[in-house]
Structure 1
Amino acid sequence: MSPALFVIQFLNGLQLGVLLFLMAAGLTLVFGIMNFVNLAHGSMYMMGAFFAASIYGYTDSFLLTAVLLVPAMLALGLALEWIALRKLYQRDHLDQVLATFGLILFFNELARMIWGPSPFYMEVPEFLGGTIDLLGIRYPAYRFVIISAGLLVAAACYLLIHRTRVGMLIRAGATNRTMVGALGVNIVLLNSLLFALGAVLAGVAGLLAGPIMSVQAGMGEPILILTMVVIVIGGIGSIRGAFYAALIVGVVDTLGRTLLPSLLRSVLERSSADIAGPALASMMIYLLMALVLAIKPKGLFPVHNT
């Protein structure tokens, strides 16, 4: 593999990593801080992609689509939390898993009813359709925008959690909900806003992913599995852990799928190597998770409640 191709694949890994972070940031807020197992988080990603594809089709403006998508996902998150999930917070995790799995089936069928079974395809915005020069290497401008957007969201999440009063309340509520409620904080409202924020982040991930992959019913489940792996590796409830783990998983997965077939061709037939390489690359993610858990059972950056 040439150095230029390696750099391009590394950047593609970072691009996948920031998409995973957008998913993991929202899910780790809900799972790690609210102690709520939300399997329907991938459905928020799917609905965000469908909303974005529909709005983009009407407006033909990617920027306007991004602006309109945020309140749409905020409203969807608040409605879902209020109608279906609020009563599950005090139930055990098995009840939460069963309920949110049912929501996955509901949203998949809803998407098929509204948008049909055929995939949607969003075009890359014309002003981002070219390439940029990175130290002599041409790289798609849109993929670079995804990386930049992920980094900006990571910085915003860090500032929100660690530098604002709302973030202080979030961390305090994660440590001792009863005490924070006794001090006059509306925990119910705080939980609703957290869930809605997670839905917005998942929807933004769907928006960014739409132009580089097909938008279709069921697209949320594969990325949800990778997101769970990211959260476990980074540490449940840790935004910083989710960020670093997402980048690691994205790079390992992308480079593994690129490098392993080439390496295996030296010992296997080309067709066999092309089949075995991606399969082994997928296994590497879970082997990495097992290795991290064996060394640090709480993840790379566990949350320390004080």
Structure 2
Amino acid sequence: MSALLLIEQILNGLQSGVMLFLMAAGLTLVFGVMGLINLAHGSLYMVGAFAAAGAAAATGSFVVALVAALAAAAAAGALIEMLVIRRLYERDHLDQVLATFALILILSEGTRWLFGSFPLYLDVPDWLSGSVTLPGGIQYPLYRLAIIVVGLAVAAGLFGLISRTRLGIRIRAGEADREMIAALGVDISKLYTMVFALGAALAGLAGALVGAIQSVQVGMGEPVLILAFVVIVIGGIGSIKGAFIGALLVGLTETLGGVLLPQLFGLFMDPSAATTVGASLASMAIYILMAVVLIWRPSGLFGVRA
């Protein structure tokens, strides 16, 4: 593999990683603060993608599409928290899994009823189309580079929100001792709704950004949700820093594995067979990574030890 191709694949891995972070950050916030297993988080990713595609078709503006995705996902998240999730906090995890799985079915069928069963397409705006020349003469798609920049900016903003604002202090306190901050006068119900809406907005933003790369269709959030769970297990449940590092590791492992493993097996077997075997092992690589991390640190890289 040439150095230019390796750098390009690393950038692809970073782009995949920051998108996974947007999904995993909301998931780990909800689980860390509320102790809730939310299987419907991938459906909020889908809601953001469909809202962006619908707004772009109606207005022709990609910026309006992103705003619509954020607003729709946050509103859907707040509504779901107030109507359904709020009744699950004191229930065991099995009830949470069953209820949020039901939400997946409701949101999927509701989206199909509103938009139909056929995929929608969100075009890359003209001002983000084409390629940009990076140092070393690398030609890289401008839109994918913009996704990396936006993802890193959102990550920095989220770190600042959690560590340097009053809301962030309340979120961290709620994660540590929800009864105590309720006794100190914090409206815990309002805090939970805000956290859930924030996580939903991040998922919706990820769906809108990825919607310009792949088709927007019903059920698109579930495969990403599985990867997001892998990310938070690797990084440590409840840790934003862990979600960020874990997302980058998963993104790079998946992308580089898909390129390097077929070439490695091509040294010992027929190229077509090497491609098949290498691709199969590449899809397993992130789960092997998760297993290795859990053997080394059962709580994840940045999880709190029991």
TM-score normalised per structure 2: 0.97
Helix, strand or coil at the partner of 2:185: coil
Q: 5 Å matches for 1:113-124?
A: 113-124=113-124
Q: Which residue identity is paired with 1:94?
A: L
Residue 75 (structure 1) shift: 1.3
Match of 1:198 in 2: 199
Match of 2:143 in 1: 142
Moved more, 232-241 or 294-303: 294-303
Residue 113 (structure 1) shift: 1.7
Cα pair 2:47 2:72 within 8 Å, conserved: no
Q: Which residue identity is paired with 2:84?
A: A
Q: Which residue identity is paired with 2:61?
A: S
Q: Report the RMSD for the aligned CA atoms in angstroms.
A: 1.2
Match of 1:153 in 2: 154
Q: Deviations over 1:125-149 (max 9, x none)?
A: 1110011111121110000010001
Helix, strand or coil at the partner of 1:91: coil
Match of 2:90 in 1: 90
Match of 2:21 in 1: 21
Q: 5 Å matches for 1:140-219?
A: 140-219=141-220
Q: Which residue identity is paired with 2:218?
A: A
2: CA distance, partners of 1:278 / 1:73: 34
Residue 246 (structure 1) shift: 0.3
Match of 2:130 in 1: 130
* Aligned: 1:229 with 2:230: yes
Match of 1:297 in 2: 298
1: CA distance, partners of 2:59 / 2:278: 42
Q: 5 Å matches for 1:75-114?
A: 75-114=75-114
Q: Deviations over 1:204-253 (max 9, x none)?
A: 00010001011111111100000000000001000001001100100010
- Which runs of structure 1 show a deviation greater than 3 angstroms over 4 or more consecutive aligned residues? none
Q: Which residue identity is paired with 1:240?
A: K
| Alignment: residue pair count | 305
Q: Which residue identity is paired with 1:86?
A: R
Q: Which residue identity is paired with 2:139?
A: R
Q: Which residue identity is paired with 2:189?
A: V
Match of 2:63 in 1: 63
Q: Deviations over 1:38-84 (max 9, x none)?
A: 00000000111011001011111111222233222221111111111
Cα pair 2:236 2:303 within 8 Å, conserved: yes
Q: Which residue identity is paired with 1:58?
A: A
2: CA distance, partners of 1:41 / 1:228: 10
2: CA distance, partners of 1:58 / 1:304: 50
Q: Which residue identity is paired with 1:276?
A: V
Residue 296 (structure 1) shift: 0.7
1: CA distance, partners of 2:121 / 2:271: 32
Helix, strand or coil at the partner of 2:145: helix
Q: Deviations over 1:134-170 (max 9, x none)?
A: 1121110000010001101110111111111111111
* Aligned: 1:254 with 2:255: yes
Residue 18 (structure 1) shift: 0.3
Cα pair 2:41 2:200 within 8 Å, conserved: yes
What fraction of aligned residue pairs are identical, expressed as a percent?
56
Query: Structure 2: 5+ residue runs without aligned partners?
Result: none
Q: Which residue identity is paired with 1:278?
A: A
Q: Deviations over 1:239-295 (max 9, x none)?
A: 001001100100010000111111112222222222211210111101110100111
Cα pair 2:47 2:69 within 8 Å, conserved: no
Q: Which residue identity is paired with 2:63?
A: L
2: CA distance, partners of 1:275 / 1:61: 41
Residue 303 (structure 1) shift: 4.2
2: CA distance, partners of 1:178 / 1:165: 18
1: CA distance, partners of 2:39 / 2:72: 20
1: CA distance, partners of 2:295 / 2:37: 23
Helix, strand or coil at the partner of 1:212: coil
Match of 1:280 in 2: 281
Cα pair 2:13 2:253 within 8 Å, conserved: yes
